[in-house]
Amino acid sequence: MSMLFLSSVSLAFSAFAAKGIVMDRHYADLHGRGKEPAPALKMRMRTLAWLGLALSFAACIAARGWHVGPVLWCGVLSVAAWTVAAMLQYAPRKVAQGAWIGIPAALLTTTLLLLH
């Protein structure tokens, strides 16, 4: 399994987690009923989510090329989205923790690949 593929998976998971945890319902699950995220926080997390998805796409292209990379990315997106959706229902705090672990993991795998 390619390190870039692992980087793509962790970036996609972190991106969907960033998008999910600022949704009103899930934000209230994490911070208490009646709490809503600030509009600036929503915008910042959505921007980070789109950036994470773009970087995930770039990692898939780098891992498998232009012929297979976009197909691989669709699979990565599906698995990451299903995982985040299931975890938000049953363990919302784990999603927030996993999102913060996914970003350094992606940077580490990419750095190790570039140094090798």
Q: pLDDT tens digits for 13-61? A: 999 998 888 876 777 777 677 777 878 988 988 898 898 899 889 889 9
pLDDT single digits (tens) 61-112: 988 889 999 999 999 999 999 999 998 888 878 887 877 777 777 777 767 6
**Is residue 37 helix, strand or coil?**
coil
> What is the chain's percent helix, strand, coil content, to nearest 5?
90, 0, 10
- Whole-model pTM: value is 0.85
Q: Structural domain of residue 21, as residue ranges?
A: 3-115
**At 1, is the pLDDT very low, low, confident or very high (cuts 50, 70, 90)?**
low
Cβ neighbours for 36, distance < 8 A, ≥ 6 positions apart: 24, 27, 28
Residue 28: left (phi > 0), alpha (psi -120 to 50), or beta? alpha
The alpha-carbon radius of gyration of the chain (Å, integer) is 15
Does the structure show a pLDDT above 80 at 3? no
pLDDT band at 7 (very low <50, low <70, confident <90, very high): confident
- What is the total count of domains within the chain? 1
